[in-house]
Chains A and B, each alone.
Chain A
Amino acid sequence: MAIFAGRNLTCIRGERLVFRGLDFALAKGEALLLLGPNGSGKSSLLRLMAALTAPVEGALLWRGDNLRADCAAHFARIHYLGHADAVKPALTVIENLTFWARLHGAGEDDARAAILRTGLATLADAPARFLSAGQRRRLAIARLFSAAKPLWLLDEPSVGLDNASLEILEHGFAEHRAGGGIVVVATHTALDLPAAESLILGDFAPDPHADPLDEDGIEWEADSPEDRPAGARPGA
């Protein structure tokens, strides 16, 4: 049974039609890969899913309820990882993470456990300004582990990550899904997400004369390796 679904979603950014008529449905433990070229609306779709923006048309449903009706309840169930890492250089690693953990109802112990998990334990008391770009990304990913949420919305989570960190992230995905969690990831790099569905956002170059509903820029694909774009093949 689908828990998180989108129906007939339309997104317009800056007077440009990004996508329309987009549907998806995700049940417990499922994962969705958002694929497509730059500017195809992966980030826009994730922001819609996070209820940061409202769809121009269509609706997003959580267990059948429109999530725009109660945004706070939706915020309580998501982790959103955007392009920015939300790391304060002047605070230490643990202070950075503890703040986010507290905002999400967890505590410093949860933050310490998450830091241990992401391999930042030796840096826990160092100011975050000394972190490299990849380490900052790891700190952002540690947010996912610091408080349990049923829905993860991740925008290019693997940017700047080394192989060891990628494994930590993929292990996190597996554990999250085993516990009934849902993952939606926009990515350009190969991520090991077994049995993930792919949503390929096409280049919806708006042709003003064409009936937009005839466009087939969105395709659903079964998760067989040959159907996947080369970049998304696990272990490619």
Chain B
Amino acid sequence: MGSGQSRGPARRRKARGVRPFLATLRRELRLAQRQSCDILVALLFFVLAVLILPFGVGPAPELLRAVAPGVIWVMALLAALLSMDRLFLTDHEDGSLEQIVLSPHPLESVVLAKCLAHWLTGGLPVVLVAPLLGLMLNMDSASLIPLVAALALGTPTLTLLGAIGAALVLGARRGGVLVSLLVLPLYIPVLIFGVAATDAAIHDLPVRPHLLIEAAILLAALALAPWACAAALRHASE
């Protein structure tokens, strides 16, 4: 007892945003590691959904090459949505969210840590597996780098935008479906510029502008989403 009060003001100031961020990140990664099947489900969904495509549209190499970027992006987007509703739901149900809201730190830093953990366990594996799937769908090796770059910039945005939806639907019935309905329209710009980057590479056009726009969307989401999420979470715990 008393240890919390005896610490110096400098330490407390440093603790404002960084410590809860690190503590939450560590907790979320540990939870993901203990419940690793959750990660695998999203990744396997992504891989399998892309793999069955040739069975649907036929194995013609030219056709596969043409649809590959779009298919990989749409599947990455759906894979991101798959685990989105659980981002805050379990914390809401077991009372953790209330305690997080009541912590004296900015709620935004906790939200950001949760999003980062979600991306590291859900988005990053998709980014890493995507080039293999691209090869399988007959994509040029030259267009694989833009594909990975655009996914690396786009999937964090998917997580951040999805988190807003996940926070808004807390307490609603069938929240998972509702998140998809709320968030899918917001994903359209990310999808357009992500696919455009890869298409540009296929047609020997400059890739950079598309990646820059993708990065700009990410920066905007990074600035706005934690704030919007935090407001929604405060409302949910009222």
Binding partners A and B: yes
A-chain residues with CB within 8 Å of residue B208 when the two chains form the complex: none
Segment touching B, from A27-35, A101-109, A193-201: A101-109
A-chain residues with CB within 8 Å of residue B238 when the two chains form the complex: 52-53
Bound-state CA distance A145–B1 (Å) is 7
Q: Does A99 contact B (CB under 8 A)?
A: yes
Bound-state CA distance A106–B105 (Å) is 13
Bound-state CA distance A143–B100 (Å) is 13
- For residues 1 through 40 of chain B, which have their beta carbon under 8 Å from a beta carbon of chain A? 1-5, 7, 12, 15, 19-20, 23-24, 26-27, 30-31, 34-35
Q: Does B141 contact A (CB under 8 A)?
A: no
Segment touching A, from B80-88, B90-98, B126-134, B175-183: B90-98
Given contacts A52-B238, A105-B104, A148-B4, contact A86 B95 (CB under 8 A): yes
B126-164 vs A, Cβ < 8 Å mask (1 yes, 0 no): 000000000000000000000000000000000000000
Given contacts A86-B96, A86-B99, A175-B1, contact A102 B19 (CB under 8 A): yes
B31 contacts A88, CB within 8 Å? yes
Q: Does A221 contact B (CB under 8 A)?
A: no
Q: Does B102 contact A (CB under 8 A)?
A: yes
Closest 9 pairs between A and B when the two form their complex, measured CB to CB: A84-B95, A76-B104, A102-B23, A90-B34, A86-B95, A103-B103, A86-B96, A147-B4, A75-B104
- For residues 102 through 121 of chain A, which have their beta carbon under 8 Å from a beta carbon of chain B? 102-107, 109-110
A72 contacts B104, CB within 8 Å? yes
Main SS of the interface on chain B?
A: helix
Q: How many residues on the A side are at the interface (Cβ–Cβ under 8 A)?
A: 37
B94 contacts A87, CB within 8 Å? yes
B34 contacts A91, CB within 8 Å? yes
Other A-B pairs, 9, CB within 8 Å; known A53-B238, A84-B95, A99-B26 = A88-B94, A90-B31, A91-B27, A102-B23, A103-B105, A105-B7, A105-B12, A105-B104, A175-B1
